[in-house]
Chains A and B, each alone.
Chain A
Amino acid sequence: MNKLTQFYGTAVGKKFVVAVTGIMMAGFLVMHMIGNLKAFAGATKLDAYALYLRDIGQDMFGHETVLWIARIGLVVAVVAHIFTIVLLVKQNHKARPVKYHVKKSFVSTFPARMMRVSGLLLLIFIIVHIAQFTFGEWLSTPFEEGKVYSNISHAFGSGWLPWFYVFMMFIVCIHLCHGLWSFFQTLGIDNPDRNKLLRGLAIVVSLVLFIGFSAVPVAFATGLIGVAK
Chain B
Amino acid sequence: MNFILSIWRQASPEAKGKMVKYKMSNVSEETSLLEMLDMLNEKLTLKDEEPVAFDSDCREGICGSCSLVVNGRAHGPGKLTTSCQVFMRSFTDGQTIHLEPYRSAALPVIKDLVVDRTSLDRIIQSGGYISAHSGPKPEPNSVPIGYDELEESMDAAACIGCGACAAACPNGSAMLFTAAKIGHLGLLPQGQPERSSRAKAMVQQMDDEGFGACTNYAECQDACPKGISIKFIGRMNKDFAKAMLCDELDPRGSMDAN
A–B interface present (Cβ within 8 A): yes
Is residue B153 within 8 Å, beta carbon to beta carbon, of the partner chain?
no
Instruction: Using CB atoms, name the residue of chain A closest to B204.
Output: A10
Answer whether residue B211 sits at the interface, using C-beta atoms and an 8 A cutoff: yes
Tell me the complex Cα distance, A186–B203, Å.
14
Q: Which chain B residues lie closer than 8 Å to A13 at the CB level?
A: 240-241, 244
Question: Chain A residues with Cβ under 8 A from B109's Cβ?
Answer: 98
Most chain B beta carbons < 10 A, residue from A14, A100, A105? A100
- Could you say which of B72, B173, B218, B237 contacts A187, with CB atoms under 8 Å apart? B237
Do residues A6 and B244 form an inter-chain contact, with CB atoms below 8 A? yes
Q: Are B173 and A95 in contact (CB under 8 A)?
A: yes
Do A101 and B106 have beta carbons less than 8 Å apart?
no
Report how far A115 CA is from B216 CA in the complex, Å.
11
Counting contact residues on chain A (CB < 8 A from B), the size range is 35 or more
B212 A96 Cβ-Cβ under 8 A: yes
Interface residues of A in 116-157 (CB under 8 A from B): none
* Contact indicator B103/A98 (Cβ below 8 Å): yes
**Whole-angstrom distance between the Cβ of B90 and the nearest chain A Cβ:** 15
Interface size on B, residues (CB 8 A): 52
Enumerate chain B residues within 8 angstroms of A105, measured Cβ to Cβ. Answer: 170, 217, 219
Of residues 157 to 173 in A, which have CB atoms within 8 Å of B's CB atoms?
A: none
Provide the bound-state CA to CA distance between A189 and B233, in Å.
Answer: 11
B85 at the interface (CB under 8 A from A): no
Secondary structure type dominating chain A contacts: helix
Q: Is B88 an interface residue (CB 8 A)?
A: no
Residues of B within 8 A of A181 (CB): 216
Indicate if the CB atoms of B103 and A100 lie closer than 8 Å.
yes
Chain B positions within 8 Å of A195 at CB level? 231
The residue in chain B whose Cβ has the minimal distance to the Cβ of A112 is B217
CB atoms of A192 and B245 under 8 A apart: no
Q: Are B237 and A94 in contact (CB under 8 A)?
A: no
Tell me if A103 counts as interface (CB < 8 A to partner B).
Answer: yes
Interface status of A175 (Cβ within 8 A of chain B): no
Is B227 in the interface zone, CB < 8 Å from A? no
**Is the CB of A229 closer than 8 A to any CB of chain B?**
no
Q: Chain A residues in contact with chain B, CB under 8 A?
A: 2-4, 6-7, 9-16, 88, 91-92, 94-108, 112-113, 115, 178, 181-182, 185-192, 195
Besides A95-B105, A188-B238, A188-B241, 10 more A-B contacts (Cβ < 8 Å) are A11-B211, A11-B213, A16-B241, A91-B213, A92-B213, A101-B100, A107-B219, A185-B233, A187-B238, A192-B229
